[in-house]
């Protein structure tokens, strides 16, 4: 049996920090409200001209270095992003060129906040079927570019960043299973209602900004993530107590705590980074994973549950032995 094993991780946050106190100067909000309702203290914002590919490159280089891999070792590049540099080429192709990787498949995945979990599931299938041996998977976003900074419902929530993972074929587990879902009937609850085929002129005129019915999204996220925990454990005949670490999408500390309660997981076995960078969409899960691996909390042989929920709606999980 061939497994997909994590060989190395990397993360990158842009230098500029926007605190809750900074936001108090911009919209009618307070540090207390943001911390209490979301758990977020600050977020990082890409500098003018700094792109998703710039962030992805830094995270990717760190993951390659941690894995001891060179450009020529990599035979698949997937970038999960909602905020690509260009309409085309894909950010994955731009990144491939930056890193000096040539010829292998490279493509973007658009599943909003679930994008990294989708990309991990896709890479696992490439590796299990023998189509790839060593994949670079990146979740990278410049969400700040599609935020209406006068809308307090959304502007306090999001930030920029990138997380990357190198995975490779191994005879030892590895990714045990991945579970990917979507239901487009909820598209209107969380969306950027602008795009290319609906008209570039309109896009130029009105802009493209995140719109969210926050409370409805919150409730769906809690119930859906609870269900995917059960689905993942049942699929593998495992118990809640078999999980060593929960690495959740970092959208809101209250959603994270609800999933942890469902798993009966003490919070010191849940990786939380939402306080440091807010919701970085597709970058959130790999950033959290990288942090807990680098600081030594997550150790080889431990069982990790990764999960995410986002626009679409999309949702997914990956269970793996690190
Ligand atoms: O990553 C993809 C998935 N995204 C998410 O999972 C986000 C899900 N949603 C959430 O995290 C939460 O719904 C929010 C943090 C967005 C909002 O928290 P909530 O507990 O659902 O609050 P609410 O929307 O029910 O609003 C409560 C009150 C309202 O005032 P009234 O109507 O009670 O007077 C809002 O107008 O809080 C008000 N409010 C704010 N107050 C201060 C909304 N935004 C703010 C703000 N500062 N930034």
| Model pLDDT for residues 296-309, shown as the tens digit of each residue | 999 999 999 999 99
Cα 65 from Cα 261, distance rounded (Å): 36
Residue 259's H or E segment, with its range, is: helix 253-262
Q: Which domains does the chain possess?
A: 3-171 (3.40.47.10), 176-321 (3.40.47.10)
Mean predicted lDDT score pLDDT of the chain: 97
| Model pLDDT for residues 67-124, shown as the tens digit of each residue | 999 999 999 999 999 999 999 999 999 999 999 999 999 999 999 999 999 999 999 9
Residue 317: C-alpha distances to residues 109, 207, 248, 320 (Å): 16, 33, 9, 10
The DSSP result for 130-186, as a single string, is TS-SEEEEEEEEEGGGG--TT-HHHHTTB-EEEEEEEEEEESS--EEEEEEEE-GGG
Q: Is 218 in the pocket of ligand 1 (CB under 6 A)?
A: yes
The DSSP result for 46-85, as a single string, is PPTT--HHHHHHHHHHHHHHHHT--GGG--EEEEE-SS-S
Please identify every residue annotated as catalytic: 113, 249, 279
For residue 174, whether the previous peptide bond is cis, meaning omega lies within 30 degrees of 0, is yes
Q: Is 255 in the pocket of ligand 1 (CB under 6 A)?
A: yes
Cα 303 from Cα 176, distance rounded (Å): 9
Residue 1 has pLDDT above 70, yes or no: no
Centroid of ligand 1 to alpha carbon of 255 (angstroms): 13
Q: Which of 285, 282, 281, 320 is nearest to 300 (CA)?
A: 320
Q: Which of 110, 191, 164 is nearest to 283 (CA)?
A: 164
Residues 6+ apart with CB under 8 A from 89: none
Q: Is 191 in the pocket of ligand 1 (CB under 6 A)?
A: no
Q: How many CB atoms lie under 10 A from the CB of residue 211?
A: 15
Q: Are residues 155 and 211 in contact, defined by beta-carbon separation less than 8 angstroms?
A: no
For residue 271, whether the previous peptide bond is cis, meaning omega lies within 30 degrees of 0, is no
Q: How many CB atoms lie under 10 A from the CB of residue 181?
A: 18
What is residue 111's DSSP assignment?
A: -
Cα 309 from Cα 141, distance rounded (Å): 16
Q: How many CB atoms lie under 10 A from the CB of residue 268?
A: 7
- In the block, residue with structure tokens 């993360």: 11
Q: What's the confidence (pLDDT) of residue 44?
A: 98
Question: What's the average model confidence in pLDDT over 13-27?
Answer: 98
Strand order in the sheet with 303-310: 175-182, 314-321, 303-310, 245-248
Residue whose Cα lies nearest atom 25 of ligand 1: it is 215
Centroid of ligand 1 to alpha carbon of 125 (angstroms): 38
| Model pLDDT for residues 256-288, shown as the tens digit of each residue | 999 999 999 999 999 999 999 999 999 999 999
Cα 245 from Cα 298, distance rounded (Å): 8
Q: Are residues 141 and 280 in contact, defined by beta-carbon separation less than 8 angstroms?
A: yes
Q: What's the confidence (pLDDT) of residue 202?
A: 81
The model scores a pTM over 0.85: yes
| Model pLDDT for residues 214-245, shown as the tens digit of each residue | 999 999 999 999 999 999 999 999 999 999 99
Q: Is 189 in the pocket of ligand 1 (CB under 6 A)?
A: no
Cα 183 from Cα 228, distance rounded (Å): 14
Centroid of ligand 1 to alpha carbon of 215 (angstroms): 6
Ligand 1 pocket test: pick from 161, 214, 310 the residue with the most ligand atoms within 8 Å of its Cβ: 214
For residue 313, whether the previous peptide bond is cis, meaning omega lies within 30 degrees of 0, is yes
How is residue 302 written in tokens? 């431990």
Cα 67 from Cα 164, distance rounded (Å): 11
| Model pLDDT for residues 166-225, shown as the tens digit of each residue | 999 999 989 999 999 999 999 999 999 999 998 888 888 888 999 999 999 999 999 999
Residue 116's H or E segment, with its range, is: helix 115-128
Question: What's the average model confidence in pLDDT over 138-144?
Answer: 98
């Amino acid at each position: 049996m061939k497994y997909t094993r994590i060989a190395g991780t990397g993360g990158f946050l842009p230098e500029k920090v926007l605190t809750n106190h900074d936001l108090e100067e911009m919209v009618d909000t307070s540090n207390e409200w943001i911390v209490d309702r979301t758990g977020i203290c600050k977020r990082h914002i890409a500098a003018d001209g700094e792109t998703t590919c710039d962030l992805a490159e830094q995270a990717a280089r760190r993951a390659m270095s941690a894995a001891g891999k060179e450009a020529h070792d990599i035979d698949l590049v997937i970038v999960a992003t909602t905020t690509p540099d260009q309409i085309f080429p894909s950010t994955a192709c731009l990144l491939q060129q930056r890193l000096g990787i040539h010829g292998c498949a490279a493509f973007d995945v658009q599943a909003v906040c679930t994008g990294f979990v989708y990309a991990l599931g896709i890479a696992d299938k490439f590796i299990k079927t023998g189509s790839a041996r060593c994949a670079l998977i990146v979740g990278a976003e410049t969400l700040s570019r599609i935020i209406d900074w006068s809308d307090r419902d959304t502007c306090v929530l999001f930030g920029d960043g990138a997380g990357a993972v190198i995975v490779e074929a191994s005879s030892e587990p590895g990714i045990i299973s991945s579970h990917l879902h979507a239901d487009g009937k909820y598209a209107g609850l969380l969306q950027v209602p602008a795009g290319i085929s609906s008209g570039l002129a309109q896009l130029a005129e009105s802009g493209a900004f995140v719109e969210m019915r926050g409370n409805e999204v919150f409730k769906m996220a809690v119930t859906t993530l609870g269900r995917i925990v059960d689905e993942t454990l049942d699929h593998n005949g495992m118990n809640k107590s078999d999980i060593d670490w929960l690495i959740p999408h970092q959208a809101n500390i209250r959603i994270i705590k609800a999933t942890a309660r469902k798993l009966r997981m003490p919070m010191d076995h849940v990786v939380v980074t939402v306080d440091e960078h807010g919701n970085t969409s597709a970058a959130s899960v790999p950033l959290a994973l990288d942090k807990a691996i680098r600081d030594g909390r997550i150790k080889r042989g431990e069982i990790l549950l990764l999960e995410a929920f986002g626009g679409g709606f999309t949702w997914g999980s990956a269970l793996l032995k690190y």
